A and B are shown apart, each in its own frame.
Chain A
Amino acid sequence: MDRDTLRQKYAEAKQSGLIGERQDGYLGIIKNQGDAAIIVERINNFRKKRYQEVSKESSLPLSEVEMRAGQRLYEKAEPGSFILINGKWVKK
């Protein structure tokens, strides 16, 4: 699955509430339908590599970068998408 397809499927899955943002800066599966699982796995791998680079660059451990990314992505999440709050998926 090349990047364009991945981008498109990611947007659809987010729109239809199959996947959402978790507090640790990664995606979580809400309903395991269609390509939800593949999308989450591919994007989370991508994000982890980038977070590792940021961790080296900013001399903060990976866990801190992930937490910080999670906070920022919560703020950035568009209305209608889902975010995980205290274990419950909440529509923003």
Chain B
Amino acid sequence: NQLQGNLDKFNLHSQLQEINFAEHNPIQKTLRDWPELLDLQRGKTSYQLKLNYRSNAPLTATFSSTAEHLNGIYNSSELTDVNVELNAKLNGDKLSVQLPVFSIKQINPGVPLSNININSASFNANFNDPASGTLAWQSIFAQLLNGNLYADQHSIQLNQDSPVLIDIQGLELQQLMKVYPTDGLAGNGTIDGQIPLIVNLNGVRIDKGKLEARNPGTLRFRSAELQSMAKNNPALDLLNQALDDFHFQVLKSDLNFDKDGKLILHIRLEGSNPQFENGRPIHFNFNLEQNLYALLASIQLNNHVSDLIIKRIRQRAEKK
């Protein structure tokens, strides 16, 4: 670190080549508001800070940092191979941050989101009031259940509800059925969709998302519980037989999600089971409600995740 200057002007040039995260995180102890839920375990980061002060001019500072192949846990999600290049400029109270590189190989809250690429992201705000800053990006790509998610150019005000439209192409029903923590579920089909996120500082919600199967497919639900319940319940018996081997022509759903995690799907299925009443057409209207966070947590608990993640899931469950 070099500090030159006299009373009316000084500039500080501090540079750190490389911090290596072995098992513990040296930065966590220094940065006051390190997000306490972010636990970095492996990877390299370096930073460079330049601060210039002249008594009659506003304080100016530049801060640049790179992070390579960071791995760790954020909240209860495993983070794999995070790469960030960040350049920040402070001029008086005007803060502007550019992220020429921001990629994550995978973030896994239960269902993995992989190959995430956020292109030319930027954040501009008044240094004293970052909460009303503006977040913008050129495009965002990610992959989910072998399908592609894409968000094009957006600029959002953090302190207001900002719409972000996510386009989904080629989600595989087969992957979803494999990941879903209910035994006896199987199916295949390709799903496309449009998901309008509403984003603000305290959360994300979805209003009238749309999902639809691109072409006919199959759905199967064979469960001993349903079998036994169906014995003395004609409606369930019908459901049980229909879903034994259901071939659908139409599969579409509305999707709503609130910031507390409540996920509501209005699913429409049209098709038949060839072995049931010679393939008589059956139309389903499913209204399915569940908590997405609880769903993700139960997936994780079934997949032997690390103790730290389990501890965080328990803490969150106890807070309710």
Residues of A with Cβ closer than 8 Å to B?
A: 59-61, 63-64, 67
Contact = CB atoms under 8 A, between A and B. Distances in A.
Given A60-B301, A61-B310, A64-B310, 8 more contacts: A59-B301, A59-B302, A59-B304, A60-B310, A61-B307, A63-B307, A64-B314, A67-B314
A70 to B, nearest CB: 12
Contacts of B314: 64, 67
Interface string B8-52: 000000000000000000000000000000000000000000000
11 contacts: A59-B301, A59-B302, A59-B304, A60-B301, A60-B310, A61-B307, A61-B310, A63-B307, A64-B310, A64-B314, A67-B314
Interface size class of B (residues with CB under 8 A): under 10
**4 closest Cβ pairs, A-B complex:** A59-B302, A61-B307, A64-B310, A59-B304
A5 B314 CA distance: 38
A42 B50 CA distance: 65
Nearest to B307: A61
Contacts of B304: 59
Contacts of A59: 301-302, 304
Nearest to A58: B301
A59 B300 CA distance: 10
Contacts of B310: 60-61, 64
Nearest to A60: B301
A1 B187 CA distance: 57
A69 to B, nearest CB: 13
Nearest to A71: B318
Nearest to A61: B307
Nearest to B306: A61
B187 to A, nearest CB: 24
Interface string B294-320: 000000011010010010001000000
B291 to A, nearest CB: 19
